[in-house]
Structure 1
Amino acid sequence: METIILRGEYIKLGQALKAAGMVESGVEAKEVIQEGLVMVNGETDTRRGRKLYGGDIVLFDGEEIRIEG
């Protein structure tokens, strides 16, 4: 499990995937999110700009990202 510690109030979903090293670019992040391959807190989310806050959990390709604020 990867942990991202927030610097501000939130991080966007696409940025979180890049920061965790799960995708290599914003374009790749957009593609996997729009294809419905990413879950946030147990639900599929297709919005690249989805704001993630402390306590949120992202699941992609069998790996988990925990957001800490």
Structure 2
Amino acid sequence: MREFTLTEDYIELLKLLKLLRIAQTGGHAKIIVENGEVIRNGEPEYRKRAKLIKGDVIEVSGDQIKIV
């Protein structure tokens, strides 16, 4: 499991996918989310601009990312 340290109150899902290079572009990040490939805390997350906060666990492409 990877960890991502927040420097603000939250990070938007699309930004996280781009920052961690899970998605190559913003368009690619949108497709990943729209296709239901992102799991947030055990539930599918379809909101591209979902605000991720400390304690959230994201699963995408076999990777788990914990927001700390």
Q: Output the TM-score relative to the length of structure 2.
A: 0.93
Identity in percent: 34
How many residue pairs get aligned? The number is 68
Number of the residue aligned with 2:55:
55
CA-based RMSD of the aligned residues comes to 0.8
Mark the runs of 5 or more structure 1 residues left unpaired by the alignment.
none
SS at match of 2:46: coil
Q: Does structure 2 retain, via aligned residues, the 8 Å contact 1:20–1:65?
A: no
- Name the TM-score, length of structure 1 as normaliser: 0.92
CA distance in 2, matches of 1:60, 1:36: 9
Post-superposition, which runs of at least 4 consecutive aligned residues in structure 1 deviate over 4 A?
none
Which deviations, in whole Å up to 9, do the C-alpha atoms of 1:35-68 show, x marking residues without a partner? 1111000000111100000000000011111101
Unaligned runs of 5+ in 2: none
> 1: distance between equivalents of 2:49 and 2:3?
19
Q: 41-50 vs 16-25, which deviates more? A: 16-25
